[in-house]
Structure 1
Amino acid sequence: MLLKTTSLLCMLIALLAITASQAEIYKVVDERGNINFTDEPGDNPAEPVKLKPSSIISPPPVIPINNQVSEAEGQRGYNFFTIKQPLEGETIRNADNLKVSTDISPKLKASDSLQLYLNGKPYGKKQKGASFSLANIDRGTHDVSVKVLNEEGKVLNSASVKVHLKQTSKLLPKPNPTPVPPSP
């Protein structure tokens, strides 16, 4: 019964589409000389308009973006992966050590690992933990990225941020503290 109803509904939709595509269009000039186009001529004198056949253009094929997970990888992929700390564009002052923490969903699988990259080069070893510590980092702007790798080393997901490390020069004298007025 459901198949008959579905078939009947499809035939009605197709019939309506054919009827709509063959509808007449009329050019009507009103009392003020304005030109209107309509599918119902009404009481005013109307001139039928002959239209060229409509063009049908097929959409281009869908090309998957590199960071999309394929169906084969869908069962192994991660829905969410980001660097929580430091924030994108953050300026970190007077620190030569940097802490990086990530957030991943679902939880990192036993066969996968995380690899930290500093300025495009691997930093340290692959690990299972979501936090990294970088020591003795020079001042300046750095690209920090973390990649989720499977056991073959294939990148499953990645996240990156740009951070700015600022250091006070040891050659400059320390500023004098502002005196605090005595309390009454």
Structure 2
Amino acid sequence: MRKFVLLLLICLFASQSYASANKKVYVWRNADGVIVFSDSPKADVNADTVDISTTPNIIKSVDTKIIEGTEQPAKDKISIDIVKPTIDETIRDNTGSVYISGAIRPSFKRGLSVVLKLDDKKVKGPQKSAVFILRDVDRGEHRIQLEVWNDSGKVIAVSKPVTFFVHRASVNSPN
């Protein structure tokens, strides 16, 4: 019952202004057994007092400079890494197909594109994803690197180079 009374008190006085905080509230039951709340005591009734010492819920102001356009947000530094193939991986494919996958951090944004370099020569791109498929890659050692370009064609990020090997079976040496 006390919890109910307390909950009822909070509900009734939640909309009170800050000026009414830290005031006393008087609670008693009338002749019909109904609970009565008042800000002034009744002379002929033994009323309980409840101190309300809560401060109003005030939400701190929010910085709206970004919405208003008065302050430019800090640009995140873009980075790119080659996920597949891994360093010194041997790819065994008789067609010479190589699947290349990159990861851009923090995220791929509008206006960015990716270029693939194979053995220091641009072979694919610019394109809007960091996934490439190369066909008919010769046997042997190769080096790949990914570049991220902005919308004006400027290189803004370069991956570390990854060396991999292509193994293609031949008639002369099937292993």
Tell me which residue corresponds to 1:122.
122
Shift of 1:92: 1.2
TM-score when normalising by structure 2: 0.53
Q: Output one character per residue of 1:44-103: Cα deviation in whole Å (capped at 9) or x when no partner.
A: xxxxxxxxxxxxxxxxxxxxxxxxxxxxxx61531x421000001111123400000011
CA RMSD for the aligned pairs?
2.1
Q: Output one character per residue of 1:4-55: Cα deviation in whole Å (capped at 9) or x when no partner.
A: xxxxxxxxxxxxxxxxxxxxxxxxxxxxxxxxxxxxxxxxxxxxxxxxxxxx
**Secondary structure class of the residue paired with 1:153:** coil
- Larger-Rg structure: 2
Shift of 1:138: 0.4
Structure 1: gaps (5+ residues): 1-73, 176-184
Structure 1 stretches (4+) deviating beyond 3 angstroms? none
Answer whether contact 2:76 2:106 (CA < 8 A) is retained: no
Tell me which residue corresponds to 2:85.
86
TM-score when normalising by structure 1: 0.50
Tell me which residue corresponds to 2:170.
169
Tell me which residue corresponds to 2:65.
none
**Secondary structure class of the residue paired with 2:142:** strand
Shift of 1:124: 2.2
Shift of 1:125: 2.4
Structure 2: gaps (5+ residues): 1-73
Q: How many residues align?
A: 101
User: Identity of paired residues, percent?
Assistant: 30
